[in-house]
Structure 1
Amino acid sequence: MQNRSSSRLVSDQSSNPTSSTNPKGRNRRRSKQRIVNSNLEENSHLVVTMADQRTMAQLLQAPTEGYEDAIVVPAITADNFELKHCLLTLVKNKQFLHMIKRTRMLISVISTRSLLP
């Protein structure tokens, strides 16, 4: 029985004679080219200035010009949402509160365990 890798090896060996030396078909690492030091000394004295000289805090501020009127909060009406039957059943049977308490308990257990070594 052949799996995918063995069937691939058989087809690769017939088409590529070097696959016997490299059976998995992986590329070998190539040696890096050496850097000539003479060019580095000449370029190290150059000072490059950015076109935009603002600080990072200024760049991260969100632009607000022209966007004030574009953000509109829609009015919430009675037809905007749908009540799910299973959620109503949970609330009616008072099982929903139990789920909230259990979630809080689990979060507290997880947070205390994460503080322990």
Structure 2
Amino acid sequence: MADKKDRNGEFWELALERAHLGVWDWDLRTGDCFYSAMWSQMLGYGEGELAETSDLWLQLTHPDDRERAVASGERHIAGLTDSIETELRLKHKSGHWVWVLDRGGVVERDAEG
């Protein structure tokens, strides 16, 4: 079973890498965040160069896109939407802006939402 699970994980990692898709995960209970190597690379950073904090994406988000992006996330976390889909600009390490399509959704809810 572990071999199949390992292969499955490797499959998805390779598929996401080949598709140039960055992945992020935010645990609202603990505040812990994960940003994949490809997510960092899309913004010109090497693995481990960026702090994996919940406010990192907000720091990197273009000021004109922040309010809309935050509102989209808040609506989804409140259970008002099935998923998040927001186009926004994130700041590349070299200083230019990179347009991204951010898609996501709550994977698990507890009694409090």
Using CA pairs below 8 Å that are at least 6 residues apart, which structure has the higher relative contact order? Answer: 2
- TM norm structure 2: 0.18
Q: Whose strand fraction is larger, Structure 1's or Structure 2's?
A: 2
Q: Whose helix fraction is larger, Structure 1's or Structure 2's?
A: 1
- TM norm structure 1: 0.17
